[in-house]
């Protein structure tokens, strides 16, 4: 990857971090309603993964979706406005934190039902296979989702029908307050793909370049018509499951240990070793901060959705007319 592209990835990772830090503040001020699940600590996964996709490749994920939305090219202003429930948000302020979406950018959401979007991913891949194009569907989900029936149905059909889908498990060690060891019969999530004879790989998810390389190989393998592939990225969320999590299930030392391997810090060291000046990286960090602050300003100044919008964009529209 060219140096400029690497610097762009650095920018994206810092933008996610700064935007979410601001979002946490806004949540505490009562300006964001509902749940807020932060991606802080996991930035390398979606940043490296989505950098490896082509624009025609579809991305679908769970509710921890702010970083994914930014990586897919949804402007920070629209992500922040969505968090505040404003009409200028990427889902017109009617989706909120868990439902960031923009089909024009091939970002198919933001889904709140654990595992519920996996069969949707198989369906999208089936649609592309039927249409005869070479799009790849990239479906991201947590370790917890792999204990749900949807996961097994979706993986099974994807193999039976040789669907062009890349399954991406973000193993951040916990599903809410339950560790992988306590919830999953196998500790290596990738082993679950073996049951469906889906080729798979376990990769360090704190190193954006390793994520990128593994993702690029896997995406092109799927695009070549070989059927599904599963990647398991080992990562960690630095914050609670959602805002207000008392975190009684893990000790502070464990969190501190993982923070020593901060994906932004790791990437900064790698770039510095490649002779990128500290000043260049500092400027990128400042730009990300400015963009996050501008996004907050834009979101706060934006209008609420009109009442007339209440029944627009829902299946039951006709019934309510």
d(CA 304, CA 89): 10
138 binds, among ligand TPP, Mg ion, none (CB under 5 to 8 A by kind): none
112 is a contact residue toward ligand TPP (CB under 6 A): yes
233 is a contact residue toward ligand TPP (CB under 6 A): no
Q: Are the C-beta atoms of residues 78 and 20 closer than 8 Å to each other?
A: no
205 is a contact residue toward ligand TPP (CB under 6 A): no
CA distances from 116 to 29, 92, 124 (A): 31, 23, 14
Name the residue number minimizing CB distance to Mg ion.
Answer: 142
172 is a contact residue toward Mg ion (CB under 5 A): yes
- What is the smallest separation between the CB atom of 7 and ligand TPP, expressed in angstroms? 28
d(CA 197, CA 228): 10
Q: List the one residue from 43, 82, 128, 143 that touches Mg ion (CB under 5 A).
A: 143
- Taking the alpha carbons at both ends of the chain, their separation in whole angstroms is 53
Binding span for ligand TPP by CB under 6 A among 19-27, 49-57, 142-150, 283-291: 142-150
Q: Are the C-beta atoms of residues 168 and 139 closer than 8 Å to each other?
A: yes
d(CA 149, CA 171): 18
Kindly tell me which of 109 and 144 has the beta carbon lying closer to Mg ion.
144
Q: Return the half-sphere exposure (C-beta side, CA atoms, 13 A cut-off) of residue 292.
A: 24
- What is the smallest separation between the CB atom of 114 and ligand TPP, expressed in angstroms? 4
Q: List the one residue from 51, 70, 81, 145 that touches ligand TPP (CB under 6 A).
A: 145
Q: Which two tokens mark 192?
A: 């679950």
Kindly tell me which of 128 and 143 has the beta carbon lying closer to Mg ion.
143
Kindly tell me which of 176 and 310 has the beta carbon lying closer to Mg ion.
176
Q: List the one residue from 6, 97, 172, 215 that touches ligand TPP (CB under 6 A).
A: 172
174 is a contact residue toward ligand TPP (CB under 6 A): yes
142 is a contact residue toward Mg ion (CB under 5 A): yes
Residue 104's CB is within 10 A of a number of other CB atoms, namely 8
264 is a contact residue toward ligand TPP (CB under 6 A): no
d(CA 217, CA 211): 10
Question: Quick one: which H or E segment has residue 215?
Answer: helix 208-221
d(CA 247, CA 238): 11
86 is a contact residue toward ligand TPP (CB under 6 A): no
Which residues make up the interface to Mg ion (CB under 5 A)? 142-144, 172, 175
Which residues make up the interface to ligand TPP (CB under 6 A)? 64, 112-114, 142-145, 172, 174-176, 241
């Amino acid at each position: 990857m060219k140096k400029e592209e690497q610097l762009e990835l650095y920018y994206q990772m810092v933008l996610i971090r700064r935007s979410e830090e601001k979002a946490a503040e806004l949540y505490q001020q009562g300006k964001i309603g509902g749940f807020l699940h932060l991606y802080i600590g996991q930035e390398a996964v979606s940043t490296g993964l989505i950098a490896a996709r082509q624009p025609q490749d579809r991305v679908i994920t769970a509710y921890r979706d702010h970083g994914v939305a930014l990586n897919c090219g949804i402007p920070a202003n629209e992500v922040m406005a969505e968090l505040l429930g404003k009409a200028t948000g990427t889902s017109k302020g009617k989706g909120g934190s868990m439902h960031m979406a923009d089909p024009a950018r091939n970002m198919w959401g933001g889904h709140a039902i654990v595992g519920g979007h996996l069969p949707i991913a198989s369906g999208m891949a089936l649609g592309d296979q039927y249409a005869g194009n070479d799009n790849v569907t990239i479906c991201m989900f947590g370790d917890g989702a792999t204990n749900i029936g949807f996961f097994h149905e979706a993986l099974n059909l994807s193999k039976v029908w040789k669907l062009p889908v890349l399954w991406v498990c973000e193993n951040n060690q916990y599903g809410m307050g339950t560790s992988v060891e306590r919830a999953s019969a196998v500790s290596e999530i990738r082993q679950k793909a073996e049951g469906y004879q889906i080729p798979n790989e376990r990769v360090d998810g704190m190193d954006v370049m390793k994520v990128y390389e593994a993702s690029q190989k896997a995406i092109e393998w799927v695009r070549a018509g070989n059927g599904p592939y599963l990647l398991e990225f080992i990562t960690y969320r630095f914050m609670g499951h959602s805002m207000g999590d008392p975190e009684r299930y893990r000790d502070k030392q464990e969190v501190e240990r993982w923070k020593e391997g901060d994906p932004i810090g790791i990437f900064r060291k790698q770039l510095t070793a490649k002779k990128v000046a500290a000043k260049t990286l500092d400027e990128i960090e400042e730009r990300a901060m400015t963009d996050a602050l501008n996004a907050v300003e834009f979101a706060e100044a934006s209008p609420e959705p009109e009442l007339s919008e209440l029944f627009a964009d829902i299946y039951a529209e006709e019934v309510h007319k």
